[in-house]
Chain A
Amino acid sequence: MAMLLAKKNLRALLRGAMDRKYRVVGPVREHGIVLFAEMSDPGALCLDELNTQNSIKEFFFPKTEKLFTYSLGKNDAAVADDFAPPRTVLIGGRACDARSLVALDRLFGWDYKDKFYFARREATCVITLACDRFDEACFCTSLGFGPRAAEGSDILLVPVEGDEYAVEAVTDKGRALIAEVKDVFTEGTPGAEKVAYPEKKFDLAAVKPWLERNFEHPIWKEEFLSCLGCGTCTYQCPMCHCFDIVDEGDIHGGARCKNWDSCQFALFTLHTSGHNPRPAQAARWRQRLRHKFVYYADKFGTEACVGCGRCIRNCPVCLSILDKLVLIGREAAAAPAQPAGAQP
C-alpha cells in the first residue's frame, strides 16, 4: 500500500494548509504568465505550464531582502533585525527547482551562515511535482538526475495512471505536513508512473575539464556576441545567487537590503578606478559558464545549474546554455585533454 493523492484533491491539500495558517505559494497565472506567487485561493493553482517563468529561489532568497533596519537620532543610533519568515507550503516546483535548494544550501551555509536563507528554508515545506512532460529546453537528465528526483523536496508527488499522484514523504517536515492534512490522502496501490524523461544531450563529465583548459578560446567571442547583457538568464535561474547590498532610506532611518544582481552586467565587476576585470560580454558569459560548471563544482561539489531551461526559454536573443554545453561537449570530444606528461 502506498499513499496517494487524487489530482482533484490538490486544491483541498492547499486549502488544508491555508486553514492551518500556512502561507501557500504555487504557480498562478498573472497577466498571461505563469509565475510562482503567494496564493490566497487554492483555486488559483495553475499547472498548465511545464515550468513557471520565475524560479522558486525568490521564496528563499528574495529579490529584495531587508537585512536590518536602522534609525539614527541626534545622539543615538540603533540597528534592529526582526526577521521571522512565515510558515510556508511551496507547491508546484519541479525536481530541478528542488535540487537547486540543496545546491544553494551549500553556498549560503559555507562558513558564514546566511540566516535569512536558512530561516526561510526551515519554514518552508516544498511539495514537488515530478514531470509528466518536458520541452526542448529541459536537460535535467544531462546533469545526472531526473524529473522525479526527490532531492530538496519535502514531499514528492509523482503522477501515476488514474489521475492520481503517488505521494513520497521525503523529510520529517513533509511527513508533518501530511499528518496535518491527512484527510486529503488515500491509501492504495499506485498505477504506472507517468514520468517523462528528456534525452541526455551532452556529456557532463567532459564539460568541466574543457572549460578549465580553455579560458582563452574563440568560442567565447564567436558564440556569445549576440548577448545583450540584460541579465534575464541570471534572474530566472534557480541557482544564480549573486547579490548587491544597498541602503534604502536616509540619514534618519531606513533599511539595508540585499538585492539580486547579475554577473552579466558590466557594472558588476567595475572597479572605482575604471578598470574592469571582465570588460566584455564574452568574458561575462565565460564567467557564467565557468562559475556554474567549474568554480561551483570545485567549491560545493555540484554544478550551479539544474537544467530547468528557464534561461533558454526567456532569453531575448535565443542564446541557449544547452546549445553551448552541447557544443562544448563536441569540442571536448574532438580535442580531448592531453594525457598528463604529454604536455611540453
Chain B
Amino acid sequence: MASDNIYLPYLMKVDGVRDETRDVRTLRLKFARDEDAAQFSFKAGQFGEYSVFGAGECTFCIANPPTRAGFIECTFRKAGRVTKALRDLEVGDTAGFRGPYGNVFPIESWYGKSVLFIAGGIALPPMRCVIWNCLDLRDKFKDITVVYGARTVGDLVYKDELREWSERSDMKLIQTVDPGGETPDWRGQIGFVPTVLEKAAPASADTIAVVCGPPIMLKFTFPVLDRLGFARASVYTTMENRMKCGVGKCGRCNVGGVYICKEGPVFTAEQVARMPAEY
C-alpha cells in the first residue's frame, strides 16, 4: 500500500481456515508481497477492512496478537454478502486487507496490574488479540481472568484455545452459556455474562477490566463493574459500529461527535458514559 490511494488494499493470500462454530470461521491471511509483510505492523485493538474482490469490504478487528505477527486473522459470522464470500475462500485464494486503523489498548500502562477480560459471543475475537498479547507477556501482569459467555455451547468460539486457557495454571477462565444453551456434559456456568460476572466477583483492586460484547451486554456489564468497585477509567471496551471507510471520511460510525474508527475503537467506560445513547 505504498500508493497514495487510501482505499487500495494489500493483496493477501488465505493461509488457513478454521471453523469456530457452525457459522463462525477464522481466516488466516498472509501478505502476497514480502515488502508489504515487512513494513506492516499493528497493535492490540486495531481493526481493518477485509475484502473479497467482487463482493466488497467488511470491518473486523485483527484477532491475532501483535506478539504473533507475520499474518493477520479475522473471525466472522456468515451474515451477509461479504461474509459469505469470505467464507467461500479457500487456502491459497486472494483477499484484500486495509489497515491497521484506529487506536489501541494501552497495554504497557497495565503492566504490574491484574487484567479481567469479559466477552460475549462473537465479541471474543477482538478480545483474543489482547488476551494472547497479555499471555505472551505473562510476567508483566498479576492475575489474568477471562469471563466468556455465549448463547449456547455451540456458539463458543476458539474452543481449542478455551481448553488451553482452562488448563493453564497462570490464568483463570470462567465460561458460561445462556440458560437453555447448555449441553448435558457442560461443566461451565449457566447464566448471562453480567450475572455470572457479579457472582464470580473478581477483585477490582489494581485491576484493569476489558469488556467486549453487544451493546446490550455493555449496558448491563458496566453497572456490575461499578458495583464491584472498578473505576470507570480502568474499564476498557472496544466498540463496533457499522463502518465503511475506516479512515474518518464516510460519516457512518460516529456516536455523537466521536468517530469510532478514528478516536476508537478502544474507549474507557468513562468515555462511553459521555457519549449519547446512540451505540
A68 close to chain B: CB less than 8 A: yes
**Nearest A-chain residue to B1, judged by Cβ:** A79
Q: Are B53 and A77 in contact (CB under 8 A)?
A: yes
Q: Are B242 and A107 in contact (CB under 8 A)?
A: no
* Shortest distance between the CB of A245 and any CB in chain B (Å): 5
Interface residues of B in 260-279 (CB under 8 A from A): 262, 276, 278-279
| Also in contact, A114 and B6, with CB within 8 A (given A242-B251, A269-B252, A295-B256) | yes
Q: Are B7 and A251 in contact (CB under 8 A)?
A: no
Q: Are B54 and A249 in contact (CB under 8 A)?
A: yes
Residues of chain B within 8 A of A77, CB atoms compared: 11, 32, 53, 94
Q: Are B56 and A246 in contact (CB under 8 A)?
A: yes
Q: What does the 1/0 interface line of A38-79 toward B look like (CB < 8 Å)?
A: 000000000000000000000000000001101010000111
Residues of chain B within 8 A of A278, CB atoms compared: 278
Q: Are A67 and B249 in contact (CB under 8 A)?
A: no
Tally A-B pairs: CB < 8 A. Answer: 123
Q: Are B254 and A72 in contact (CB under 8 A)?
A: no
Residues of chain A within 8 A of B80, CB atoms compared: 272
* Shortest distance between the CB of A84 and any CB in chain B (Å): 13
**Nearest A-chain residue to B278, judged by Cβ:** A277
Q: Are A70 and B254 in contact (CB under 8 A)?
A: no
A148 close to chain B: CB less than 8 A: no
Interface residues of A in 256-285 (CB under 8 A from B): 256, 258, 261, 263, 268-273, 275, 277-278, 283
The number of residues on chain B lying at the interface, defined by a beta carbon within 8 Å of a beta carbon of chain A, is 42
| Also in contact, A81 and B251, with CB within 8 A (given A272-B77, A283-B278) | no
The number of residues on chain A lying at the interface, defined by a beta carbon within 8 Å of a beta carbon of chain B, is 51
Q: Are B56 and A291 in contact (CB under 8 A)?
A: no
Q: Are A72 and B94 in contact (CB under 8 A)?
A: yes
B241 close to chain A: CB less than 8 A: yes
Q: Are B5 and A271 in contact (CB under 8 A)?
A: no
**CA gap between A29 and B121 in the complex, in Å:** 56
Residues of chain B within 8 A of A244, CB atoms compared: 244, 250
Q: Are B252 and A261 in contact (CB under 8 A)?
A: yes
Q: Are A79 and B9 in contact (CB under 8 A)?
A: yes
Q: What does the 1/0 interface line of B30-68 toward A look like (CB < 8 Å)?
A: 001000000000000000000101111100000000000
Scoring B80, B245, B249, B252 by chain A CB atoms within 10 A of each residue's CB, the highest score goes to: B249
B4 close to chain A: CB less than 8 A: yes
Q: Are A295 and B94 in contact (CB under 8 A)?
A: no
**Nearest A-chain residue to B258, judged by Cβ:** A295
Q: Contacting A245 at CB < 8 Å: which of B53, B57, B257?
A: B57
| Also in contact, A243 and B6, with CB within 8 A (given A272-B80, A299-B257) | no
Residue numbers of B with Cβ under 8 A of A are 3-9, 11, 32, 51, 53-57, 77, 79-80, 94, 96, 214-216, 240-242, 244-245, 247-252, 254-257, 262, 276, 278-279
Residue numbers of A with Cβ under 8 A of B are 67-68, 70, 72, 77-79, 81, 83, 107-108, 110-115, 215, 241-247, 249-252, 254, 256, 258, 261, 263, 268-273, 275, 277-278, 283, 287, 290-291, 294-295, 298-299
Instruction: Other than A77-B94, A249-B54, A251-B53, give 14 A-B pairs with Cβ distance below 8 A.
Output: A67-B5, A67-B7, A67-B8, A72-B54, A81-B5, A81-B8, A215-B256, A243-B244, A244-B244, A247-B55, A272-B79, A277-B215, A277-B241, A277-B255
